[in-house]
Amino acid sequence: MSVELADVVVAQPATIEEAVALAADAGARYVAGGTDLIVNMRRGVTTAARLVDISGIAALKTIVVEANGAVIGGGVEIARLVGHDGIARLFPVIAQAAVTIAAPAHRNVATVGGNLCLDTRCIYYNQSEWWRRSNGWCLKNRGDTCHVAPRGERCHAAFSGDLAPALLALDAEVEIAGSAGRRRMPLRDLYVEDGKAHLTLAPGELLVCVRVTRKMDAFAYEKIRQRGAIDYPLAGVAVGLTMRERRIADLRIGLTGLASYPFLAAGLENLVGREVDDDLLKEIDRAVQRQAQPMRTTLAAAHYRRLAAAAVARRLVARLAA
């Protein structure tokens, strides 16, 4: 057994309140599917004295579909999202993004909360202890230098969840449970651009559910990756679009894999009222290229990821407008 897991204590609460109480101690971490956390613990980049296993909490596992919206529990497995009739009907973009996550055996256990709170990734971080030690560690773990940007002051590891861009484009809201009770906030406020601390959750806080309301007409998600399965996104783009009389009434572009946090492209409100023609697609391409500034956190070149994100955004807008 790996050293990092040998001493860990696993708690298996049945309710959210019990889980939050158990996670209040320093050194406690939540685990659900474990498809990211267990790997990171085995590699020594994440440590925990206590794992609070939330996979048995029924209250986290519900999907409630309403007339024009849905509430998705943080403990809902990705595979359930892929096959859910109500989600497929109201929010096919969520299922589209979900089915691109990892591979079937991961999706069977990995959860919505886990994907939204996924640790950031980098070629200098997601490596064995031996590899990282040989390289003098890194800013995100034990070291003081970011090998991606040695003269910079922050960690540039990339956020690589696939659900976040789709849910950002849907204007989703998340509910958080902590020792001080529950709070709700827009999903975008869950993130800040810092690869070492990209979540705004306080220690011990738990993502309970995501609320989405259908405000736009058409959505799509597309992911660029090295292989057709398993891989995290080199670039992931979600587009939400509403057209009125052949003109843009609302346009959002959610991006992942390109920065330390998932984000919505800014300034698109200036495109409202425009027709979707070649000039507009070029403007979208330029806007995405300007805002997506990936660093060299993957084996693929950063400029490729920037160009790919822009190309996918352009393509999805053209397809949804057609």
The residue ranges that bind other proteins (CB under 8 A) are 1, 5-10, 12, 27, 31, 33-35, 38-39, 42-43, 49-51, 53, 55, 102-106, 108-109, 128, 228-230
Beta carbon nearer to other proteins, 11 or 63: 11
Q: 307 vs 46, 295, 300, CA distance in Å? A: 33, 13, 12
What burial class does residue 201 get, using C-beta atoms within 10 Å of its C-beta: 0-12 exposed, 13-18 middle, 19+ buried?
Answer: middle
Alpha-helical runs (H) found in the chain: 3-6, 16-22, 37-42, 78-82, 85-90, 92-98, 104-107, 112-116, 129-134, 163-169, 278-291, 302-321
Whether the Cβ atoms of residue 9 and residue 48 lie closer than 8 Å to each other: no
Is the Cβ of residue 3 or residue 180 nearer to other proteins in the bound state?
3
Residues 6+ apart with CB under 8 A from 95: 81, 82, 83, 84, 87, 88
* For other proteins, the closer CB: 7 or 153: 7
Shortest distance in whole angstroms from residue 165 CB to other proteins: 21
CB of 280 to other proteins, least distance (A): 35
What is the closest distance, in whole angstroms, from the C-beta atom of residue 138 to other proteins in the complex?
18
* Shorter beta-carbon distance to other proteins: residue 9 or 202: 9
Closer of 113 and 240 to other proteins (Cβ): 113
Rounded to the nearest whole angstrom, what is the least distance from the CB of residue 74 to other proteins in the complex? 17
Shortest CB 12 distance to other proteins, Å: 7
**How many CB atoms are closer than 10 A to CB 193?**
12
- In whole angstroms, give the CA distance from residue 24 to residue 139: 26
Q: Is the dihedral of CA 244, 221, 30, 69 positive or negative?
A: positive
Q: How far is the CB of 87 from other proteins (least distance, A)?
A: 19
Token couple for 259: 């920065």
**Which is it for the CA torsion 207, 257, 317, 230, positive or negative?**
negative
Q: Residue 22 or residue 176: which is nearer to other proteins going by CB?
A: 22
CB nearer other proteins, residue 128 or residue 134? 128
Supply the minimum distance, in Å, between the C-beta of residue 215 and other proteins. 31
